[in-house]
Every structure is written in structure tokens, then in C-alpha cells.
Amino acid sequence: MSTTEQTTFDVEALRRGIEERDAATLAALYTDDAELCIVDSVNSPSDPRILRGSAIGAFLADIAARDMTHFLDRVVATGDHVAYVESCRYPDGTRVLCAAVLDLAGGRISRQLCVQAWDGA
């Protein structure tokens, strides 16, 4: 094990985790005390869904287990921040679009805001 702390974010691991539906790869990108904030048609900006710690891993595992495709697009990484757009599609054609902004600590995700929109929602 290296004693050098990673300070740059691994965008390719993010891409692999999202596009290959690999929850373990994605979970490894988060700090132990990370916070994930989700805003969508069910979770308003005034009352977002907040996940912390191991709940993030469970959420990622649930998403990865779904029969759908994911595509990472428009990734911007600078300093301690990353932003990206993720496009998803279910087999029935339903689409989901997520815009995410990440705050990093030591090259890992410490906070994430995900704003998502679903077809028909």
C-alpha cells in the first residue's frame, strides 16, 4: 500500500463504474463520510434525498442492478470539483438525465449534488 494519498480524481474509474454498472468501483471513489444529495420529481430542492456513508454504496448497488444503460458525458474536472452529465435508458425506452456536481477531498468525492429528470415525471 502506498503512503502517498491520491489527490487527483480518477475520471476513468468514474466512467467505468457508471458505464459498466460497477457499484464497487463507484463506491471506492467516495470518502467514508461522503454526502450525496439527490433532487428530482420526488425529492424537491427544499427536501432533497440525502445519503451518507454506507447508504451511498447501497444506492449505487441498486442503480447498478437495474437493467439499463448509462453513458457519461460532458465531464469537467478542475481542482477539487468535478461536474458531469449522465444519460440513462431503460429497455422500454424511458430515459433519465442526471447533472452532477462533485466536491473532492484528497481525490475522492466528499459531496455530490445530483439533479435528475425522468421521462414522464
Domain count, the chain: 1
49 assigned to some structural domain: yes
**Taking residues 68-87, what's their average pLDDT?**
95
Instruction: Give the residue carrying C-alpha cell 434525498.
Output: 49
Residues 6+ apart with CB under 8 A from 50: 35, 36, 37, 38
Q: What is the pLDDT of residues 45-57, one digit of tens each?
A: 999 999 998 999 9
87 assigned to some structural domain: yes
Q: Is the per-residue pLDDT at 59 higher than 50?
A: yes
Q: For the chain, what is the mean pLDDT?
A: 93
Q: What is the pTM of this model?
A: 0.89
Q: What is the pLDDT of residue 4?
A: 44
Q: What is the pLDDT of residues 89-103, one digit of tens each?
A: 999 999 999 999 999
Q: What is the 3-state secondary structure (H, E, C) of 12-73?
A: HHHHHHHHCCCHHHHHCCEEEEEEEEEECCCCCCCCCEEEECHHHHHHHHHHHHCCCEEEEE
- Domain span holding position 81: 11-118
Where residue 94 sits, what CATH number does that domain have?
A: 3.10.450.50
2 assigned to some structural domain: no
